[in-house]
Structure 1
Amino acid sequence: MVDKRELEELSTFQSGGYFVASLYLNVDGKRFNKKDYEIKLKDLIKQRNQELEQLGIADEARESLQQDFEKMMNYVSYEFDGRGAKSLAIFSCSALGLWKVFRLPQAVHPRLVVSKQPYIRPLAALLEENKRYLTVLISRDKARIFDYYMGELEEVTKILDEVPGKVRIAGWYGLAERRIERNIEDKVHRHFKHVADAVMEYSRKTPPDFYIIGGRRETLPEFERHLHTDILKRIVARIEIDPEAPTAEVREEVERAVEEYEEAEKKRLLEKLFEEAGANGLGVLGLKPTLKALWNGQVSVLFVTEDYVRQGYYCPECYYMSADETVCPYDGTEMKISHDIFEDAVETAILQNCEVVRVKDASVLEKYEHMGALLRFKL
C-alpha cells in the first residue's frame, strides 16, 4: 500500500546526472500467469533500451539504468510471490540508492518510463481515484473502527467502555430501578460520545470520503445523534452486523455496501450525462469533444469504458490530447504518441480534481467512442 506521504517523498527525489526507472506492471494472478508478466516486462525493457541507444547518455547513467532493469526483472521473477496485488509500481535509481516497490490492489496501464524524476502521475491518479470509507461498528458498550481504502480493510481503533447491563430491582414504586436505568443510559450516551469523538479525531488525521455505520438496527439512530453534521451527510450505508463479527465477515459486508453505493452512483451520473448531453447542456459525448473539454478545464466528471485502450497523441508542452492530430493546434509542437490516450485522460482528469466513472458495460458508450463528460461550465 502507498500513502500520500510516500508519494510526496518520491516527488521531491532529485536524480542529478542520473535517471529514474519507473515501472507499472499488471500482475493479477486471475488474469495473468507469472510467465505473462515476465514477458511483458522483458518487452518493456527491450523497448526502453532501443530508445536509450539513440539518446547517447553518459556511460555511468546508462549503467545505473541497466542495473535498475536487472533489479526489476529479478524482483518480478524471483522475489514477487504473486500474492496480495493486482499490479506493481517500482521506482529505481541504482546509482543513488532509490528502490521503492508498491503492491497495488488495482490494475494499471503497464509502462516503463525513464526520466529525471520518478514518474508518479499514474500512482497519484490511482490514489485520488479511490475513495476512502471509514466504517464504525457500534454497540452500547463497544465499538470498532475500520479504514477501507484501495480494496484493503484495516481495523484502526477498538473501544470498550464499562456500561452495566439492564437490571430489575424491587424498590419503592420502582424508583430504584428507574434510577439505575437512568445511570445506565447516561453511561451509554457517554460511550456513544466517546466513539463519536474517536471517529472525528481519526477523520482529522486521515480524512475519509464517506462513512459506513454498522451494528444492531435499534442502536444506530441513538449513536448517530452524537455524530457531527458533516459526518452524517456522508454516511452512504448502514449495515446490520454483530459489532464483534470476525474481520472476514466485516470485510464482506463493507465491500458489498461499497459496491452497491458506487454502482448506484455510477447509474445516477450516467443518467445525468445523457440528459445533459441530449439537452445541449453541461454534458458532452465523444472522444474529441471530451478531450477538448478536459484540456479547457471544463470537466467535472469523466466517463470512460473500463479497460478500453486506444492509441493517441499528446503535446509535451501543454498536454493537449488528441486521437489523431500530430501537431498541437495551440503551440505548434510536434505531438508525441500516447499508447493509451484513455488512461492519460483519466490521469489528467484526476489531477484536475475531476471524478472518474469507469463504465463496465462497453455498449453504453460504444457509439460515443467510449468517452464522455459532465462539465463544470460551457464555453
Structure 2
Amino acid sequence: MAIVNSKITLDELQELARFWSEDRDAISVYFKAPAPSELAHREEPIFAKDQIKQKLGSLKGMSHADREDVQRILETVSELKGNNGRAKVIFACWSKGIWREYDAPGDFGCRIDVGPNFSLAPLIAQQQGRRRYCIALADRNRARLLLLEAREITEHSQVIDEDDKEKIRTTGTGKSVHLERKKDEQVRRHFTFVAEHLLHFYEHKDYDCLIVGCRDDMWPAIEAELHPDLKRVLAGHFHCDPGIASCEEIQEKAQALVDVRDRVDEQKLMERTMGGFASNALGAVGINEVIDALEKGEVRTLLWTSKPDGEQHSASLCEHCGHLEGKELNACTLCGGKMRLYQNAEEALLRHALGRSIEVREMHYSKLPMPDRIAAWLRFRAEISTPQALAS
C-alpha cells in the first residue's frame, strides 16, 4: 500500500529535484478531483484517464515499466471520491523504483508531464506562496476562530469568551444608563480579550494574515482594539452573524477577500520588478538576465508565468556545480560536467534556487514578457549599491 503524505519536506523536494532518467520515463501527475457528487464520481476518473492516456500517447512506444506506472496512476485516480478537496500529486518512475504520492492543498487542475525529470514548479510555487489566514468572527458576546489555508477551512475555537448574557439596550436615565455603560465596558473588554489572543497567535506564527467577520455596526469597535501589527496584516472584513454563520458561508466570503489580496500583491510585485528592470535597478527580465542574477546571488523572488504547450523555453543545468545556461549545452563551461536540459526553463532555475532562501512565485494574474516569461525581483545588484538601486 502506498504511503500518502500531505506535506512535502525540503529534503523530499531536493531528492525529487535531483532525480534524472535518461530513459525519459519520469511521470508527474497533478489532478484535482471535482467536488463530490454522483455525476462527478462517474466523470472524474473518465476525464483523468483520457487526459493521462492522451499525454502518454506522445511517448515513442511504451515499455513494460511505463505501462506499470500508467496502470497504477489510473487505478489511483479512479479511486478518488473528491479527495477531501485536495489535489492528488504523483511522481513516478517504475524503472528506478520511484513512487511518491501526495494529497496537496491547492488547485493544480489536471496536468501530466513525462520526461527525464519530475515537474516540481507548480508544487514548489504553491507551497511557498501559501498563506495561512486567521478568520476571527466576533460579536458582543462570543468569538470564533477559523484557519483558511489553500482554500481549506478548519474551525479551531467555537467560543473563547463567556457565554451569552442578556443584552441590555436602553436610552433611559439613572440606573438603566449605568447598566448600559457597564454593558458597553464589558463588550469593549471582550473585544480587547479577542484582540490580545489574535496578537498572541500571530506573534507565535500560527497564521500570516487576518480576516474579521462581524456585523457592520460592530466593526469600528473591533478595529479600535486591534494592535498595529494586526492592522498591518489585516486582509479585510466581511459582514456575517458570527453565531449562525456556516463554514461554507465564511469560506466563500473570506476567500473573496483572499483572491483580491493575492491579485493586488501580485500586481505590486509585477510593477516593482518591471520598474526595477526598466531603471536597471532591482529587476531582471528574461532567461539570461535572471540566470546571471541567480548566479550572482542577487535574486530575492523568482517569477514565471505558466506557458501553453509549444511555448516552452528550455534551460540547461550542470549536474555537478549547478551552473545554468539559457540554451542546450552538453558540457558545463565552468567545470566541464554534464549539463541536463530541462524543457521548461523554470524547472532548471528552481533546482538552482532550491534551499537558497529564494522565494518563487508563479504569476496567475499578470503576464510576464515573451518569449520566456521569466523574471526576478532582486535583493541588490552587484555592480551598484542597494541604496542607489532603491533610489532609482
Q: TM-score, normalised by structure 2?
A: 0.72
Partner of 2:133: 133
Deviates more, 1:295-304 or 1:121-130: 121-130
**Helix, strand or coil at the partner of 1:33:** helix
Partner of 1:356: 361
Alignment of 1:1-379 (within 5 A): 4=7, 7=9, 24-28=28-32, 33-39=47-53, 71-76=72-77, 78-81=78-81, 87-90=87-90, 100-107=101-108, 110-111=112-113, 123-159=123-159, 161-162=162-163, 163-168=165-170, 174-203=173-202, 207-243=206-242, 244-308=244-308, 309-326=312-329, 327-346=331-350, 349=353, 351=355, 352-360=357-365, 362=367, 364-366=368-370, 369-379=372-382
Q: Deviations over 1:130-160 (max 9, x none)?
A: 2222221221112222211112222222225
Gap change, CA 1:221 and 1:343, over 3 Å in 2 = farther
Question: Structure 1 counterpart of 2:49, which letter?
Answer: K
Alignment gaps of 5+ in structure 2: 16-24, 35-43, 383-392
CA contact (8 A) 2:122 2:362 kept: no
**Helix, strand or coil at the partner of 2:301:** strand
CA contact (8 A) 1:129 1:350 kept: no
Partner of 1:55: none
CA contact (8 A) 2:170 2:177 kept: no
CA contact (8 A) 2:319 2:339 kept: yes
Backbone CA RMSD of aligned residues: 4.2
CA contact (8 A) 1:26 1:37 kept: no
Alignment gaps of 5+ in structure 1: 14-20, 53-64
Once the two structures are TM-superposed, the CA of residue 335 in structure 1 deviates from its matched residue by: 0.9
Question: Structure 2 counterpart of 1:286, which letter?
Answer: G
- Supply the distance in 2 between the matched residues of 1:135 and 1:24 (Cα, whole angstroms): 35
- Supply the distance in 1 between the matched residues of 2:214 and 2:364 (Cα, whole angstroms): 32
Partner of 1:17: none
**Helix, strand or coil at the partner of 1:105:** coil
Question: Structure 2 counterpart of 1:375, which letter?
Answer: L
Aligned pairs, number: 351
**Helix, strand or coil at the partner of 1:231:** helix
CA contact (8 A) 2:294 2:353 kept: yes
Q: Deviations over 1:251-304 (max 9, x none)?
A: 221121111111112222222222221111111221111122123321123332
CA contact (8 A) 2:29 2:112 kept: yes
Gap change, CA 1:271 and 1:97, over 3 Å in 2 = closer
**Helix, strand or coil at the partner of 2:89:** strand
Gap change, CA 1:200 and 1:266, over 3 Å in 2 = same
CA contact (8 A) 2:49 2:74 kept: no
Once the two structures are TM-superposed, the CA of residue 218 in structure 1 deviates from its matched residue by: 3.3
Q: TM-score, normalised by structure 1?
A: 0.74
Gap change, CA 1:148 and 1:129, over 3 Å in 2 = same
Once the two structures are TM-superposed, the CA of residue 165 in structure 1 deviates from its matched residue by: 1.0
- Supply the distance in 2 between the matched residues of 1:212 and 1:229 (Cα, whole angstroms): 14
- Supply the distance in 2 between the matched residues of 1:155 and 1:112 (Cα, whole angstroms): 39
Partner of 2:18: none
Q: Deviations over 1:69-113 (max 9, x none)?
A: 75444212x31236555742246899x999754144222864579
**Helix, strand or coil at the partner of 1:27:** strand
Once the two structures are TM-superposed, the CA of residue 314 in structure 1 deviates from its matched residue by: 1.5
CA contact (8 A) 1:315 1:334 kept: yes
CA contact (8 A) 1:24 1:87 kept: no
